[in-house]
Amino acid sequence: MAYNFEFYAPTKVIFGKNTEDEIGKQAKAFGASSVLVVYGGGSAKRSGLLEKVEASLSAQSIAFRELGGIVPNPRLDKVREGIRMGKEHNVDFLLAVGGGSAIDTAKAIAYGLAEPEYDVWELFAHTRTARKCLPVASVLTIAAAGSETSRGCVITNEHTGEKRVYDDNLARPRFTVMNPEYTKTLPDYQTESGCVDIMMHTMERYFTNGGNMEITDALAEGLLRTVMKNAVKLHHQPGNYEARSEIMWAGSLAHNDLTGCGNDGGDFMSHKLEHELGGMFDVTHGAGLAAIWPSWARYVCRECLPRFVRYARNVMGIAIAGTDEEIAEAGIRAMEDFYHSIGMPVNLDELGVHPTGRQIEEMAERCMAACGNHTGSAKKLTLEDMIHIYTNAAKSR
């Protein structure tokens, strides 16, 4: 039975070739007069995109400052540096140029500038709730996190090793510019890690024991099949614009809550387990998810068997006869085969991570502490369950 839901997706999307030319006009329309441009490494400069972005802002007489050097698993210290810069230059608008790391950093800075009397980490530690946030927008160069249209924001506290999420509609971007051309130069590992993240945002909402709608399931299953098809294409044809376009748009649809309408909000334990892995070992997020998911799936599937059977049939194309347990396992194995086909790991050994028993316990303890009262939907996980999932993920099959 479908649950009641609210769907809120206010982000304006400008999609396609040469859309970066619209940035200045869009920023001005949303009230920007002093912008902090947040970006990652040198690719934004080498591609000429950063120069185009800033020329577009200048054409509208919008002042700007740059904050570069954002890294994957974005750091709290960089957020605090951005807050200091924003205060110094009276910034009133944040513009991220990059992927989820740049966008999440911009969101966190926007929270910090809107309420400068508070420490921004308190939001991620969940000791308070934001009341205000400066406007944020993005120019997307990596299809993965979906942060360009979502309310989510993930930051790593490098001093404690904690990787934490804060969700609030206040930070949903005002607009996003999406030109798939700028994703063509991404390394294959980064492209495919992004595809895994996109799929997992949908799968986290799909494997639930609370509420379902046929239309939501159909959207989710179609999105997953489309991402799989085009992820394989990009593994062999990285310059394929049509495949890049499909993946980029899927990334936004996967995490703007559309594929969760009518359910209980989703499971999200694979993400939470991976956050602790990322916080401790600084692994690429999508690859970490691929390494965790098979262990999680096998551990919880009996508690959510109808969903795993449907997934096996409708997404993975499993046509064999057998018990529900056999069909579910065939679907999980097919998912592992797909991950391998695009160069992704299916366990921690393949990821290159070899945690000790004590490190596994520490990750599980941190995950349990971060979960609050939500420890899954497919199966409610205990601390012991989390230890088992990490332990099984550390074993090669």
Q: What is the pLDDT of residues 128-168, one digit of tens each?
A: 999 999 999 999 999 999 999 999 999 999 999 999 999 99
- Are residues 371 and 270 both part of a single domain? yes
| DSSP conformational letter for 116 | T
Residue 21 lies in a domain: yes
- Asked if residues 329 and 348 have their Cβ atoms less than 8 Å apart, the reply is no
Region for residue 75 given its phi and psi (left: phi exceeds 0; alpha: psi -120 to 50; beta: otherwise): beta
- Are residues 129 and 232 both part of a single domain? no
Beta carbons within 10 angstroms of residue 16's beta carbon: 12
CATH assignment of the domain containing 227: 1.20.1090.10
Residue 56 lies in a domain: yes
CATH assignment of the domain containing 149: 3.40.50.1970
Residue-averaged pLDDT of the chain: 96
Alpha carbon 197 to chain centroid, angstroms: 6
DSSP string, 28-76: HHTT-SEEEEEE-STHHHHTSHHHHHHHHHHHTT-EEEEE----SS-BH
What is the pLDDT confidence band of residue 396, given thresholds at 50, 70 and 90? low
Q: Helix, strand or coil for residue 298?
A: helix
- Is pTM beyond 0.85 here? yes
Q: Is the dihedral of CA 230, 231, 236, 241 positive or negative?
A: positive
Residue with tokens 């085969």: 337
- Are residues 168 and 273 both part of a single domain? no
What is the pLDDT confidence band of residue 43, given thresholds at 50, 70 and 90? confident
Tens of pLDDT, residue by residue over 324-378, are 999 999 999 999 999 999 999 999 999 999 999 999 999 999 999 999 878 999 9
- Are residues 269 and 347 both part of a single domain? yes
- Are residues 273 and 352 both part of a single domain? yes
Q: Of 183, 209, 237, which closes a domain?
A: 183
| Gap between the Cα atoms of 204 and 286, Å rounded | 13
| Gap between the Cα atoms of 58 and 28, Å rounded | 11
| Number of domains within the chain | 2
- Are residues 242 and 227 both part of a single domain? yes
What is the pLDDT confidence band of residue 1, given thresholds at 50, 70 and 90? confident
Q: Of 148, 183, 218, which closes a domain?
A: 183
| Gap between the Cα atoms of 34 and 90, Å rounded | 7
- Are residues 131 and 220 both part of a single domain? no
- Are residues 230 and 354 both part of a single domain? yes
pLDDT of 77 above 70 = yes
The radius of gyration of the chain's CA atoms, rounded to the nearest angstrom, is: 20
Tens of pLDDT, residue by residue over 165-185, are 999 999 999 999 999 999 998
pLDDT of 81 above 70 = yes
- For the residues 188-214, what does the mean pLDDT come to? 96
Nearest to 300 by CA among 271, 278, 267: 267
Residue 101 lies in a domain: yes
- Are residues 120 and 177 both part of a single domain? yes
Residue 7 lies in a domain: no
- Are residues 76 and 198 both part of a single domain? no
Residue 1 lies in a domain: no
- For the residues 276-295, what does the mean pLDDT come to? 97
Strand partners, 175: 12
Give the pLDDT of residue 171: 98
Tokens standing for 104?
A: 């999440």
Beta pairing class for 154-157 and 93-98: unpaired
Residue 83 belongs to domain spanning:
12-183
Q: Of 156, 183, 210, which closes a domain?
A: 183
